[in-house]
Amino acid sequence: GEVIVTSNLWKTYEMGDQQVHALRGVNLRIKHNEYVAIMGPSGSGKSTLMNLIGCLDSPSQGKYWLNGHNVSELNDDELARIRNKEIGFVFQTFNLLARATSLHNVELPLIYNGTPAAERTARAKEVLEQVSLGPRMMHKPNELSGGQRQRVAIARALVNRPSIILADEPTGNLDSKTSVEIMALFAELHEKGNTIVLVTHEPDIAEYAHRIVTIRDGVVSSDHPSARHAAQT
Ligand code: ADP
Ligand code: ADP
C-alpha cells in the first residue's frame, strides 16, 4: 500500500503583511518499503515538506494521507498522537537526552504512549541490539561516539515500529567513514521492510536511496530512480 500520499500540498507562511509560499502544490506518493531521498537547494522547501510529512505542522491547502489516515485537517493533539504512532524521526543533531542512558532515550517514545514498563525495556533492548549497541545500552550520549549516538537515535526511531522513518540530514554531523556505516545501517533497515525518507544536501548520500525526489521553489522538479539503484535493476 501507499504510506504517503500528498495532493496539491501548499504551505504559506505569514510574515507580517508578507506571504512566503514555501510549498506550491506538492504531489508525492511513497509506497510501503520505498527508500526515498529528498534533495534540493537551500530554501526550496525541504524542511517545510518534512515538517508536513512528519505531522509537525499542517498544510495551508491540499490533502495528505499518512498510512490511510487523512491527516491534513487534524488539530495539534491529533497530529501529535499520529506522529508518535506512525513516524520515527532521525535528526542531524541526534536530539538525545544528555542525562539519560541509551536505553532510557530509546524507551522515551514508549513512555509517551503508555507502554507497560517491562515491555518497554524489552523492546528498547531489542532495537538497540538491532543497531549493534547492545553493549552500550547503559552509556549516556557523552560516553558514545557520534556514530553511536546516531545509532541510539535510529533505535529510538524504530522502537514504535513506525510506518516511516524520516531522517533529516542524518549524516550531517558525522565524518565520512561513520556516514558510510550509518548509511549501511539504513540499507539494512530498508531490506528488513522499513520505509525510509531521507533529506540530504549531499548527492553521494542520496545515492544510497532507491529514488531521488528533487524539490525546487516549492514543487517537485524531478523524481527518478537513483543511478546506483537503476544500475542494479
Ligand atoms: P535548511 O536550509 O538547513 O533546511 P533553514 O535555514 O531553511 O534550514 O531553516 C531552519 C529552520 O528555520 C527551519 O525550521 C525553518 O522552518 C525555519 N525558517 C526558515 N526560514 C525562516 C524564516 N524566514 N522565518 C522563520 N523561520 C524560518
Ligand atoms: P529548505 O529546507 O529547502 O532550506 P525551507 O522549507 O526551510 O527550505 O524554506 C522554504 C521557504 O520558506 C524559504 O523561503 C524559507 O525562508 C521559508 N520559511 C521556512 N520556514 C518558515 C517560517 N517558519 N516562517 C516563514 N518563512 C519560512
pLDDT tens digits for range 137-161: 999 999 999 999 999 999 999 999 9
Nearest ligand to residue 46 Cα: 2
Hey, which of 10, 48, 197, 219 would you mutate to test ligand 2's pocket, going by the most ligand atoms within 8 Å of its Cβ?
A: 48
**Cα–ligand 1 centroid distance for 50 (angstroms):** 12
Q: Enter the pTM of the model.
A: 0.89
Helix (H) or strand (E) segment spanning residue 215: strand 211-216
Report the nearest-CA residue for atom 7 of ligand 1. 43
Distance of alpha carbon 101 from alpha carbon 71, whole angstroms: 34
pLDDT in tens, 47-62: 999 999 999 999 999 9
Residue whose Cα lies nearest atom 20 of ligand 2: it is: 48
Tally the C-alpha atoms within 13 A of residue 2's C-alpha that lie toward its C-beta.
12
* DSSP H/E element including 38: strand 35-39
Tell me how far the alpha carbon of residue 12 lies from the centroid of ligand 1, in angstroms: 13
Ligand 1 proximity of 47 Cβ (cutoff 6 Å)? yes
Q: Count the neighbouring beta carbons within 10 Å of the beta carbon of residue 100.
A: 15
Supply angle C-alpha 140, 145, 151, rounded to 5: 80
CB 63 within 8 A of CB 6: yes
What pLDDT, on a 0 to 100 scale, did the predictor assign at position 29?
Answer: 98
Tell me which residue of 60, 53, 46 sits closest to 29, measured CA to CA: 53
Tabulate helix, strand, coil % of the chain (nearest 5): 40, 30, 35
Q: Ligand 2: which atom is nearest the Cα of residue 40?
A: 3
The yes-or-no verdict on residue 70 having pLDDT over 90 is yes
- Provide the pLDDT for residue 110: 94
Residues facing residue 113 across a β-bridge: none
pLDDT above 90 covers a percentage of the chain that reads 95
7 lines ligand 1 (CB under 6 A): no
Kindly give the number of the ligand 1 atom that is closest to the alpha carbon of 20.
23
